[in-house]
Structures are given as structure tokens and as C-alpha cells.
Amino acid sequence: MNIDLNCDLGEGAAHDAELMPLVSSANIACGAHAGDEATMRQTLELARKYGVAAGAHPGYRDRANFGRLELAIAPGEVLQLVVEQVRELQRIAGGLGVALAHVKPHGALYNQAARDPALADAIATAVQTVDARLILFGLAGSALITAAAACGLTTAAEVFADRRYQADGSLVPRSRQDALISDPEEACAQVLRLVRAGRAQTVCVHGDGPHAVAFARQLRAALGQAQIEIKPCAA
């Protein structure tokens, strides 16, 4: 059994250089909710150094709320937003000799697309427009996974190590006090349960928490003890 371990990077947190060798896929902010050309380049160089699969992490252009505020944006605008961001990262990656492997929407865009088929279709179409070989990451069981598959894209169903779930499989909103899991043992137990149940091809560890590095190390150790190999998703 194997699983991809992904992390959102290039978002201005202080742990990128320590986290990169601990993961197999990096979701790189594309300059909208966070990041700029310099951070994209630096993060891509780190991914190349450690042999980590590099992907685009497009989000809403809303730095004030870190892309975590849900917005009422038409599907056509979302399509263009995603195309622009993925192409920008692709341009920088190409100059470094790095091929992008995947796309994972960020924050509110990700959550809205998980339940809104029209937004999900827009994101899947955007990825197909840029490069149909890119893997589209989305919440396991969500509208985004369904839309991507309908477009003929390779998908990676994602679960979260440090987020709690509601009964319908959606994430507990960050506005609730119980949204985040802070206990590494609880997080590891959740990941092992979800992976063994066949619910995921990729697991997300957030890179912006104060204990992100220790969290990632403990999760890697737990997966290793369970004889689950960490490797990037295959297209």
C-alpha cells in the first residue's frame, strides 16, 4: 500500500525548507491568495532539490483573508482565474526544468468546488485547458473529483491529517473551534483509518502551523510503521 503526502507551500510560512523533504508532493501558491514570483521560484527549486512532485495551488485573489473567504464568483471567472495561476507557475517551472504534476485548489475555492458542480466543472475545465496530463487533487467523494473524472483527468482523492470531518464527509468549517486536530496521535489515527479504508490517494498536512514539521515527521513515522509507502501520485 502507498500514499502521497502533500503540503501547501510557498505561502509565507517559515517551515518550507524543513517540510519539503518530508513530503512527496508540494502545492505551490501561485500569487493570488499568497506568494509571488520569487516564492514560486524558491519553492520550485526546493521541490527539484528533494525530488518532490510540484503542483499548482490556485486560490481566490483575496490576500486579506488568505483565500479562505467564500466568494460569489461566476464559473467562467473561476475558470480564467485557475488558468492564469497554473500557467504562471508552469512558466516559472519550465524555466527551472521542472514539470508540474498536479493542481490542487486552495481554501474557499477548494471547499466551494467540493459541493458546487458548476465551480467544479470550471476548475476541471481550466486544468484540462492548461494540460490534461495534470492530476487534479480534490476532497474525497466531492463534486470536484466527479467533474475531473468526467473531463477525463486523472484524479487524486484527498483526505486531511489535521482537519476534522462532518458526517457527510465534508470538512468541519474553520470557523468552528473543533475544526483543527492539534493532537498528532489523533491525526495519525485518522489518516491510517482513512487510507486503510481506501478513501484517499493523497493526504494533506498543512504547512502553516507552529508545529508543522514535527507533525509531518510523526505522520511519516506512523505510515512507515504501518508499512504504507509514501510516494507521489501517478498520472
pLDDT at 210 over 80: no
Percent of the chain having pLDDT more than 70?
Answer: 100
Q: Is residue 14 part of a domain?
A: yes
Position 93 scores a pLDDT of: 98
| Residue 147 or residue 214, greater confidence | 147
Domain at 208, CATH number: 3.20.20.370
Mean pLDDT of the chain: 95
Per the structure, how many domains does the chain have?
Answer: 1
Q: Please give the Cα distance from 233 to 202 (Å, whole number).
A: 7
Position 212 scores a pLDDT of: 87
**Confidence tier at 229 by pLDDT (50, 70, 90):** very high
Q: Is residue 198 part of a domain?
A: yes
Position 235 scores a pLDDT of: 74
| Torsions phi, psi for 113 (to 5 deg) | -70, -25
pLDDT at 67 over 90: yes
pLDDT at 209 over 80: no
Position 69 scores a pLDDT of: 95
**Confidence tier at 54 by pLDDT (50, 70, 90):** very high
Coil vs helix vs strand at 128: helix
Position 33 scores a pLDDT of: 97
| Residue 127 or residue 175, greater confidence | 127
| Containing structural domain, residue 19 | 2-230
Q: Is residue 166 part of a domain?
A: yes
Q: Is residue 235 part of a domain?
A: no
First vs last C-alpha separation in the chain? 17
Q: Which of 18-27, 93-102, 202-211 has the lowest mean pLDDT?
A: 202-211
Coil vs helix vs strand at 27: strand
CA angle 117–7–140, rounded 5-degree value: 35
Residue range 194-208: average pLDDT? 91
pLDDT at 194 over 80: yes
Q: Is residue 185 part of a domain?
A: yes
Q: Is residue 49 part of a domain?
A: yes
Residue range 193-217: average pLDDT? 89
pTM: 0.95
Sign, CA dihedral 158-159-163-164, equals positive
**Confidence tier at 169 by pLDDT (50, 70, 90):** confident
| Residue 22 or residue 234, greater confidence | 22
Position 140 scores a pLDDT of: 95
Q: Is residue 178 part of a domain?
A: yes
Position 86 scores a pLDDT of: 98
Q: Is residue 164 part of a domain?
A: yes
Position 206 scores a pLDDT of: 84
